[in-house]
Amino acid sequence: MDLRIDELKGEMDSWEFPLHMIDFETTAVAIPFHRNMKPYEGIAFQFSHHTIDQKGKIRHAGQFLNVDRGKFPNFEFVRALKKELDQDNGTIFRYASHENTYLNIIYTQLKEAPVQEVPDKDELCAWIQSITHSTGRQAEEWEGTRTMVDLLEMVKRFYYDPFACGSNSIKAVLPAVLNRSKYLQQKYSQPVYGTAKIPSLNYKDKVWIEIKNGTVTNPYDLLPPLFEDATDEQLEEYITDPMLAEGGAAMMAYAKMQFVEMSEKERKSVAEGLLRYCELDTFAMVLIWEFFSTNLKQ
């Protein structure tokens, strides 16, 4: 393992608490879900949000999921996200460029929306600009004063672990840090997640550490699949952007909720699965931060 402590510390000292970890689930399909949309135009239907305060208190602070058939969610999505992140000036984290890209997409959609339909469009656009950088697809260029920090870039620059098998995917980095950290193993082998110690919106008394043959099981493998009978090939049919490869099941679930007649019980089950899955994405970011933070103290 190679962890560049001194360089990493320089970056972490610049971060402002409380820290905010966010993750989006999105889709972009050939046949749009909604009228007046272009083929492959982006839809943001879900986010998860964890916070970490100055004392290291972790909390699953919020979430959003559109479950209504036929409802265009993007503007409500960004309003909900703004409400979550507008309480302070803490540093915001994403993992990879996906969240920045989709906020740029929503920015363009807002710009094109009639003001009578979206009276707060200017306020939302200004806020999006404050936490993102432009992607080059707009006539405008900007770099927000509170631009999100890419945790993936921190991993690429400061952390290499053979346990991740050459991948920087969060689903590869998470088991790597868990297998390296006795602190995290001891802490999360206890049912502390989803309690007063670490509040959660979707889990109760959750144990995240299971060790088999001396190796920590990837927490993603502890979650039941959203679709028991879906093959990898079927999931890939829903993927139109390489950045979304790991969200294939979530995209498929959302498409099913939009297009397929299902009972309220089945709809509720799919929604609960989506919420648990997305929460783990932002909790994985928290665990990577904890790994970095505890190593700095050693």
Banded model confidence at residue 232, pLDDT cuts 50, 70, 90:
very low
Structure tokens at 128: 């999006």
Phi-psi region of 213 (alpha: psi -120 to 50; beta: other; left: phi over 0): left
In this predicted structure, what is the pLDDT of residue 238?
38
Average pLDDT over residues 23-36: 76
In this predicted structure, what is the pLDDT of residue 68?
87
Those residues whose C-beta lies under 8 Å from the C-beta of residue 297, and which sit 6 or more positions away, are none
The torsion angles phi and psi of 101, rounded to 5 degrees, stand at -60, -45
- HSE, side-chain direction, 13 A CA sphere, residue 188: 28
Q: What is the pLDDT of residues 175-200, one digit of tens each?
A: 999 999 999 999 999 999 999 999 99
In this predicted structure, what is the pLDDT of residue 284?
98
Banded model confidence at residue 248, pLDDT cuts 50, 70, 90:
low
Whole-angstrom distance between the N-terminal and C-terminal Cα of the chain? 15
Q: What is the pLDDT of residues 262-288, one digit of tens each?
A: 788 888 888 898 999 999 999 999 999
Judged against a pLDDT cut of 80, whether residue 46 lies above it is answered with: yes
Phi-psi region of 87 (alpha: psi -120 to 50; beta: other; left: phi over 0): alpha
Structural contact between residues 98 and 244, judged by C-beta atoms closer than 8 angstroms? yes
Those residues whose C-beta lies under 8 Å from the C-beta of residue 86, and which sit 6 or more positions away, are 127
**Mean of all residue pLDDT scores within the chain:** 89
In this predicted structure, what is the pLDDT of residue 50?
98
Sequence spans of domains, the chain: 2-150, 161-297
Structure tokens at 161: 């672990």
Q: Out of 18-32, 151-165, 194-208, 283-297, pick the least confident.
A: 18-32
Q: What is the pLDDT of residues 62-90, one digit of tens each?
A: 999 998 888 899 999 999 999 999 999 99
More confident residue, 206 or 248: 206
In this predicted structure, what is the pLDDT of residue 34?
65
DSSP class of residue 224? P
Q: Is the pTM of this model over 0.75?
A: yes
Q: What is the pLDDT of residues 108-148, one digit of tens each?
A: 999 999 999 999 999 999 999 999 999 987 789 999 999 99
In this predicted structure, what is the pLDDT of residue 263?
81
Q: Output the CA torsion sign for 159, 163, 167, 169.
A: negative
Judged against a pLDDT cut of 50, whether residue 231 lies above it is answered with: no
Average pLDDT over residues 249-258: 75
Average pLDDT over residues 89-118: 96
Judged against a pLDDT cut of 60, whether residue 241 lies above it is answered with: no
Q: Out of 17-26, 32-41, 78-87, 124-133, pick the least confident.
A: 32-41
